Structure 1
Amino acid sequence: MGLILVGCGKMGGAMLEGWLDQGVPKDSIRIVERSGEHAQSLRDTHDISVVDSLDDIEDGFPADVILLAVKPQMMDEAVLAAKPFADRATFVSVAAGKTISYYQQALGAEARIVRVMPNTPAAVRRGISVACANAKVSEPMKEHCTDLLKAIGEVAWIEDEGLMDAVTAVSGSGPAYVFYMTECLTEAGLKAGLPQDLATQLARATVAGAGELMRQTGTDAGQLRTNVTSPGGTTQAALEVLMASDGIAPIFEKSINAAVQRSKELAG
């Protein structure tokens, strides 16, 4: 299938790298990138076709999928340029806050739309993308989109687009929570007497290692917590604070609710 990538910044670039590593033929991809310097870098690095705008896509190229990876504030312009392809392409958007109805209003009621919320670990192919499609997207095309998104990590589908606000709050914004937790763990280590370098190393390696343990084993997080908690030991002493009624759980709930509300506001 012909694939057009509109915008090749951090997320678009991560996807491109994944597709090429998976063996997607270069001649089936066209990249639209407005930055001349970045466009030339992509040509030099990947020996791939990069054009300035969708108007420059050559006649006859099979534009089966157009993946929109531009910033939300640039989406109006990108969608307007994409409208001539609406009769034949499936549009996949990774822009935060842009709903399926937004694209249908711009591209027409018959347009095939897939809305995706990826997250930043896509840069190392450990992300997760949650996708939602309108009724015009066929099951085979959903499977094709799943294959494309697997290039940057795991993929999940939802039927109810209303869940995207919660998805955004948990996984879209989630990496920032983990990074901040790492900062807090480092700072607590410093206050407990550890030197800066060691506190930083311990916090980063512990968070990364615990995440990898969950990923590789597939074991429930609660069970993993139980496994490392010896009765009456140091871990239990800390967890009695973290799991108290005024501990971390209500803070996370409050934080997620705040992110959900903001996501709804941004979506209009």
Structure 2
Amino acid sequence: MRDDIQIGIIGGGAMAEALIAGLTTRGSVPASHISVSEHKAVRCDVLTQRYGIHAQVGAESFLPRIDVFILAVKPAAAAAAMQETAHLLKEGALVLSIVAGLTIAEIEAAYPAHPVVRAMPNTPLAVGAGMSAYACGTHAGAAELAAAEMILGAAGRTVAVHEGDLDAVTGLSGSGPAYAFLMMEALIEGGVAAGLRRETAAMLTAQTLLGAAEMVLSARSSPADLRAAVTSPAGTTAAGLRVMERAGVRSALIEAVLAAAERSKELGRK
């Protein structure tokens, strides 16, 4: 447990809550060391009661004493949030941003001389199975990197990337859960069409994709090798895969990642 660190969060939405849940559930940081500023008082009450943290409307009282400042507001509110908080942070406090499209250069301009880490988490963070990619700014060193990994890793896995890769990360892991949900919808409908009860088809689908993901994460083999291992010549799996190849499922997924990555670049230029 890191009882030597104080964390302050601006924004109390789903991503912020997922980080809070990860940190408190794993015991990474004492709940009393986490403070949140959220403009909705009702939401503050929910976060306080649920996790035992400090949540309030306004951040003036806690910003001067925190070691890590997490910017977790919507992109449209980021400029105002940075302007309102920059002068309150203590010297050397780490700024960890999970705001989509907000560049390291923009963050460092708002918080001169502060170490900055820009991260792109995804929604499975909410169930402790998130994937967060992050890039370090000019002043971020080993200590800041360790703090960012501890916070992001409390609710999933982390990987360090160059900032230029974050648009691709957005297209893959950021938007990826939606692709997986769409595939799950289709597999469930296929199961129902084949005669299964919908509840049974849903369980079979979810556990099958979870198991396949676990095999990829734990195995030294590639997804292609794992697929080949379960595809018997002229068998049922081969028949199903042949239909998917004819329908262009593989190329559609590739194009989906590329389209989402390009859209992320467009949003970053606005």
Q: 1:122 aligns with which of 121, 125, 130?
A: 125
Which residue number corresponds to residue 34 of structure 1? 39
Query: Is it true that 1:221 corresponds to 2:226 in the alignment?
Result: no
Question: Size of the alignment, in residue pairs?
Answer: 263
Hey, what's the Cα distance between the residues in 2 that align with 1:194 and 1:12?
38
Decide whether the 8 Å contact of 1:11 with 1:123 is kept in 2: yes
Q: 1:78 aligns with which of 81, 89, 94?
A: 81
Q: Deviations over 1:112-167 (max 9, x none)?
A: 21110001111111111000011211112101211111111101001x21111100
Displacement of 1:216 in angstroms is 4.2
Which residue number corresponds to residue 100 of structure 2? 96
Which residue number corresponds to residue 183 of structure 1? 185
Hey, what's the Cα distance between the residues in 1 that align with 2:15 and 2:74?
10
Displacement of 1:169 in angstroms is 0.3
What is the one-letter code of the residue matched to 2:198?
Q
Displacement of 1:70 in angstroms is 1.4
The change in CA–CA distance for 1:199 and 1:43 in structure 2 (over 3 A counts) is closer
Which residue number corresponds to residue 56 of structure 2? 51
Matched ranges for 1:61-210 at <5 A: 61=65, 63-84=66-87, 85=89, 87-108=91-112, 110-158=113-161, 160-210=162-212
Hey, what's the Cα distance between the residues in 2 that align with 1:259 and 1:151?
27
Hey, what's the Cα distance between the residues in 1 that align with 2:48 and 2:244?
51
Decide whether the 8 Å contact of 2:9 with 2:72 is kept in 1: yes
Hey, what's the Cα distance between the residues in 1 that align with 2:121 and 2:150?
14
Decide whether the 8 Å contact of 2:15 with 2:125 is kept in 1: yes
The change in CA–CA distance for 1:112 and 1:58 in structure 2 (over 3 A counts) is closer
Hey, what's the Cα distance between the residues in 2 that align with 1:188 and 1:87?
57
Displacement of 1:237 in angstroms is 1.5
The answer for unaligned runs of 5 or more in structure 2 is none
Q: Deviations over 1:29-55 (max 9, x none)?
A: 222122111112222333332232221
State TM-score, norm by structure 1: 0.90
Decide whether the 8 Å contact of 1:68 with 1:92 is kept in 2: yes
Instruction: Name segments (4+ residues, structure 1) moved above 6 Å.
Output: none
Which residue number corresponds to residue 25 of structure 1? 30
Decide whether the 8 Å contact of 1:54 with 1:81 is kept in 2: no
Hey, what's the Cα distance between the residues in 2 that align with 1:241 and 1:54?
55
Hey, what's the Cα distance between the residues in 2 that align with 1:203 and 1:90?
41
The answer for unaligned runs of 5 or more in structure 1 is none
Matched ranges for 1:212-251 at <5 A: 212-217=214-219, 219-244=221-246, 247-251=248-252
CA RMSD of aligned residues (A): 2.0
Displacement of 1:195 in angstroms is 4.3
